[in-house]
Chains A and B, each alone.
Chain A
Amino acid sequence: MDMVTVESCSKSYKKNKEVILALKNISYSFKKGIFYSIMGPSGSGKSTLINILGGLIEPDNGKVLYFGSTIRGDNNLSKLRNQHIGMIYQSFLLNENMTALENVLLPTYINHSYKSIDNVVRCRQILQELGLKKRENHYPKELSGGEQQRVAIARALVNNPDIILADEPTGNLDKKNEEYVFKLLKKLSTDGKCVIVVSHNEKILKYSDINLELEEGELREKK
């Protein structure tokens, strides 16, 4: 089943009056239960692709289909991102003023459902599964890099999304935590989620089902 499909997508940026083509007419379908790794040199458009898949930026040309349909408008894309997509970044992107538990609950705040005891129980359960039970009331600055990334992963999983998008999730982690994160993402894909990970780290090849290479704006499957 196609979870997310890009059709003839292009994206370019202007930098100092120079036009940089980040993605060139890319077409690809990402399927359920598969762990995709996307590798490529810096500036090859990997992050751009992840953000287009997450509906955070729009392609200049082409379209993105989610579960076979085109979704337009900020409200619909935001709702889709909240309910069906979990995003993980290298810099964790945690709210410094919130505890680990509150950060994990953040996606549920939209519908004021953070008051729901079920949500709190579920968040605690996710944190426990990720080994952060004793850290739930800690603020991000009180957590190590690995712990912060696990909180970010927990936040991405709180609404039980179908698609996990990760942009260099191990970029700020040590070897032990790298392994942990990759194993966790692998487990999520075996649980039926579509996991798409952008990384420079070649260790990801050990875990991914399909390896994609993005070079000079073009996406290719790597055998």
Chain B
Amino acid sequence: MKKSNILSLKNVTMLFLIFLLSTFLLIGITYYFSVSKYYQEYVEKNHGFRILYLLLDDDCDRGKLIENLENSEHVEDAFLEDEYSTFGIINEYQSDEFTGEVLLIGVDPGMQKIIAGSDLNDSEYGMICPSSIYPEIFYDENPYDYRKNIDISSDVGNTLTLKYGGIKEFKLKLLGVFDRSFDYTDPNVCYVTHKTLRYLNDNTYDYDISSNSGIYVLIDDLKNREKLYEYKGVEDVYLVTTIRSDKLQNIIFVLGIFTTIMISFIVVMSYLFTNRQIINNYRNIGILRIVGYSKKILKRRYYISNIKLCIIAITLSIIVANCFLTNFVEMFLYDNPQLSLMNMHTTLNTVIISTVIILMTVLLSTYISLKRIDNLDILEIIND
């Protein structure tokens, strides 16, 4: 025996709409959480987000200030502006195979996977190099001829002698190598420990500390930035990298607008949908009232029908969103080595949040449209 059509709100269009919006919401929230987690777990720990630029007054004794800063418990390192610019971005590099304080010299680390590793004693200076290194830093030959590349995998743990900046010879322990076989034309990129970089810098270049340049400081925690004002000659302190807040704010802004539009859309569509159902079945609802259906029972049936639609749509959207995030988004992420650490999978939290948002909005709009049942004029139906 089939039930009345009034009591079953099966509508493919509405189902598709909720599914579509639920999918977008799920992907949006997953993206937001992934980016937040990425910044929290990876980027925030990066040296780049603890580097401050100190604006100094002209009379400041920069040599003395650097010395004072380096003696501070909160300052891990201090560089003159020229020195900092020469050696580029200071970055921390971490991987499953090697975790430690390592500096990148020159360029982005890319996706090189460290395939071997060795420990470093406090008294040693170390580096991580490509497994196949062309001999630019050893010999002045054509670096792009991969046949002349030297496999240094077997030298892990040994101390190598190399020329740094083409000026002096240094002895550095080869802590590890990473696979660079996918592109031999990449420049030689080595990762050195922070201590090693200071060692290299101090023994390679002379900097004019009497210049009017500012000072870059690597602070232990950004909360301590105010303490830098206590040093004589410091006029102002700026955060060098603001990418985190900018990016996150942009993401929150875009997602906020997107979510607001989606929720408004769901509210309006769900309201129109339920409203249309009620208007189309106005007479039949009146009949149900006459045979003893209370307003509560009638409303409950509409709520249940809409919740059923939501559950079906949300279940489908979880499957589709996961497939999309796994097979599509990650494909793009892997092109970017920094973003590749981002985990773009839906979690229980994202599912719960999007489900609650969808259910709340659908139920809210259903509640509004069901006000029509309260105002149902039974006499009008009877006399119609």
Contact = CB atoms under 8 A, between A and B. Distances in A.
B292 A93 contact: no
Interface in A40-65: 47-48, 51, 54, 56-57
Contact of B292 (A48, A82, A115, A167): A82
B1 A56 contact: no
B72 interface: no
Interface string A50-92: 0100101100000000000000001101111111010101010
Contacts of B287: 93-95, 106
B289 to A, nearest CB: 7
A94 B286 CA distance: 10
Interface stretch (A97-105, A186-194, A204-212): A97-105
A82 B2 contact: no
* Interface range for A: 35 or more
B300 to A, nearest CB: 11
Contact of B294 (A74, A93, A159): A74
B4 A97 contact: yes
A107 B291 contact: yes
A114 B382 contact: no
A51 B379 contact: yes
A35 B291 CA distance: 21
A150 interface: no
B379 A110 contact: no
B288 interface: yes
Most A CB contacts (10 A, CB to CB) among B4, B7, B289, B291 go to B291
Contacts of A78: 289, 292-295, 297
Interface string B263-289: 000000000000000000001101111
A126 B232 CA distance: 102
A106 B378 contact: no
Contacts of A110: 292-293, 297
Given A93-B286, A94-B287, A110-B297, A79 B378 contact: no
Contacts of B2: 102
B379 A57 contact: yes
B284 A74 contact: no
Given A89-B382, A110-B297, A95 B289 contact: no
A21 to B, nearest CB: 16
A180 B167 CA distance: 118
B379 A91 contact: no
A123 to B, nearest CB: 10
26 contacts: A47-B379, A51-B379, A51-B382, A74-B296, A78-B289, A78-B293, A81-B291, A81-B292, A82-B291, A83-B292, A87-B290, A89-B290, A89-B382, A91-B382, A91-B384, A93-B283, A94-B287, A95-B4, A102-B2, A102-B4, A106-B287, A106-B288, A109-B7, A110-B292, A110-B293, A159-B292
Given A78-B292, A109-B7, A159-B292, 12 more contacts: A74-B294, A78-B293, A78-B294, A79-B294, A81-B291, A82-B291, A82-B292, A93-B287, A102-B4, A109-B3, A110-B293, A110-B297
Interface of B: 1-7, 283-284, 286-297, 378-379, 381-384
Interface of A: 47-48, 51, 54, 56-57, 74-75, 77-83, 85, 87, 89, 91, 93-95, 97-98, 102, 105-107, 109-110, 114-115, 120, 155, 159, 167
